[in-house]
Amino acid sequence: MIWIILGSILGAIFLLALIYMLITGSIFFKIAFLRRKGDAEFAENEDLESKNSPERKWLWSQTIEELTLVSYDNLKLKGYLIENKNSNKLAILVHGYHGRYYSLTIQAKFLYEYGYSLLLINNRCHDTSEGKYFTMGKKETRDLNDWIKLMRNRFPTHEFILMGASMGGHIVMMNEGEDTNKEIKAIISDSGYANLKDALKFELRNIKIPLKPIVLPFVNIYLILFKGFSLNNNTKKAGKKASAPLLLLHGTNDSKVEYKDLEINKNNFKDKVEVETKTFEGAEHLEAIRTYKEEYKETVISFLKEHNL
């Protein structure tokens, strides 16, 4: 009799856990990883200051070639190439969460002026690239790997660097673990998170959720079972295969990606490659490029000069 009761209790607990996992996983997935309904209208609703910035006007004055990459899972991904004539260097720029290819226009302009051709990519499920959902690192790193291969075929003698911001900063660091890492001469990561699960945990810190301590573990199970990716995506594994010097940039007042991730990423890579860091005092998430514009630019250019790039 007692075993029947015990079995019933355990069965009920399992059923409740299953229901909780399905509900929280589904809701979290829809909020965090699906393409947003207003994505197609983003350009129309963007703030005027960004639209009318000198860098954005510069971008639209350039000759831009739209490229299409078919991903391993048959999505048409878009990239935008700006060739710098007589250049033998290419910078591949990767935007952040719900950004688009022109999110890093300020960085693109000063890299172009320094002598780089540019490839500005739209991550899967962003802007003009296809996809119903994205993964904040796992599949996007594989996509970046394929963009590098495509560019190597196009520019067989060019030197390549990667630069990314926020989610893009994480993606470019993760490429150190891919088979194209030897193709890359340097990597610049602005506010890239070290661990996806910890980054999401940081985002949830001020949100009230039932049974909050077990939300992310249950969400992770849901994603693994039904969406084919995991929240256990961190730079530690990539750091073991690293070959390119790394510059890490981060604002001390970042409310989206913890400032301590700067040190975590440094430790994950320092045993394999040279790692340089730059802190921007009081800067919010991705705001250092605006509040410390010249210092930011000088830091990046000095890093590239140091490595003869």
Distance spanning both ends of the chain, measured CA to CA: 75
pLDDT at 221: 93
Exposed, middle or buried: residue 303 (CB in 10 Å: 0-12, 13-18, 19+)? buried
Phi, psi at residue 78, to the nearest 5°?
-110, 140
Residuewise pLDDT in 10s, the chain (309 residues): 676 666 666 666 666 767 777 888 898 899 999 988 766 656 556 666 677 789 999 999 999 999 999 999 999 999 999 999 889 999 999 999 999 999 999 999 999 999 999 999 999 999 999 999 999 999 999 999 999 999 999 999 999 999 999 999 999 999 998 888 899 999 999 999 999 999 999 998 877 777 678 889 989 999 999 999 999 999 999 999 999 999 999 999 999 999 999 999 999 999 999 999 999 999 999 999 999 999 999 999 999 999 999
| pTM (two decimals) | 0.93
Q: What are phi and psi of 81, to 5 degrees?
A: -100, 130
- Pairwise CA distance, residues 245 & 248, whole Å: 10
Q: Map out the domains of the chain as residue ranges.
A: 1-32+208-232, 48-195+234-306
CA 136/CA 124 separation, integer angstroms: 10
| Per-residue pLDDT, 206 | 79
Contact 233, 195 (CB under 8 A): yes
Query: How many H helices and E strands in the chain?
Result: 13, 8
Q: Which fold has domain 48-195+234-306?
A: Rossmann fold (3.40.50)
Residue 210: per-residue pLDDT: 73
pLDDT at 179: 85
List helix spans (H) across the chain. Answer: 2-32, 42-45, 48-51, 54-60, 105-114, 138-154, 167-174, 196-203, 215-226, 235-239, 261-269, 288-291, 293-306
